[in-house]
Structure 1
């Protein structure tokens, strides 16, 4: 009965390892994952099934590196707060252009100029013609030749400027 109703307050609230170690583990793991995503991935504004799978697998693989084996709520809370801290800090530093503004917010990539698809830029971002046409349709553009310029923004969304029809 003690196992059902009893609570181990000490095990639940008192850390089993240093909270500083949990913070450092969370920080190092966050930066490794952040840099990998920023350097190697920039999606097109929406998560695909493979993106979700990748994120899930990375989170599972990183869990032990981040937390080691912890049992207390306080260690879990410190780890969660560490990840939230770095997420906010990177957004803030990107906004203030501190340290790595270009890394936090890369320059937009031109995909269409004056009705011509820029294949090299599309290839660099792993966007094929069908995907780009689909993204244009989502912006109510039925013909890419009507586009003055189309950019892949740092957010992963596209922005489209149509040619003047004078």
Structure 2
């Protein structure tokens, strides 16, 4: 019973310590990981796990180790921000693996990538013809960035001189059955108006609606809890 209580206390300490340290290190640690971030993330997580469950040793040394690892990562982040050459050594550099439709075999060997790995990454980007690629860059996180040749790019409204309306960001008017009063006031409408809108789409009350969005062109998107309900197309407000 006492050991269980100790585990609970140490788990709470480890959780909030990791939470605080992660906030200090910033979003870089939770985005696409470089090799350095991957190693430090595993190590810090392992120390936190040991801090939680290893009851044969004192908690204090584990916490000190967790703090020191976090401090070292913070220092290295600061150094890499100040020194470009050091950043190259720690995180590596992006590598061009396809240039004007041609595979750079030497680059693949240096990055220890097989042709099969490259083809897999290309397919994940909806590219099935290498000849369509102008540049393919292997990022330090392992992601593949692709620039297609001009003739292989999809046609856009701008290419044919077609003007499109501004979409903007949609605002939530109802979320999980609850009316978002602030957003409703922002567009100059009230709950009576909103209720009329959802009733015209076959809903009897706010409780039946999971989500209502309105965009800059005043189009409503309404989604109810019952997916089998036949909902109308988004409409423009009068």
Normalised by the length of structure 1, the TM-score is: 0.55
Query: How does 1:1-166 map onto structure 2 within 5 Å?
Result: 5=2, 71-97=57-83, 100-165=86-151
Report the count of equivalent residues: 110
1:146–1:163 contact (8 Å) kept in structure 2 = yes
SS at the partner of 1:160?
Answer: strand
**Residue deviations 1:26-55 (CA, integer Å, cap 9, x gap):** xxxxxxxxxxxxxxx96xxxx9xxx9xxx7
SS at the partner of 2:98?
Answer: strand
More helix by proportion, 1 or 2? 1
Distance verdict in 2 for CA 1:115–1:76, change over 3 Å: same
Q: State the 4+ residue runs in structure 1 displaced beyond 4 angstroms.
A: none
Q: CA deviation at 1:148?
A: 0.6
CA RMSD in angstroms, aligned pairs only: 3.4
Q: CA deviation at 1:85?
A: 1.6
Q: Which runs of no fewer than 5 residues in structure 1 stay unpaired?
A: 10-40, 64-69
**Greater C-alpha radius of gyration:** 2
Q: Which runs of no fewer than 5 residues in structure 2 stay unpaired?
A: 7-33, 51-55, 153-238
Aligned position for 2:29: none
SS at the partner of 2:93?
Answer: coil
1:109–1:152 contact (8 Å) kept in structure 2 = yes
Q: CA deviation at 1:163?
A: 0.8
Q: Which has the higher contact order (CA 8 A, sep 6+)?
A: 1
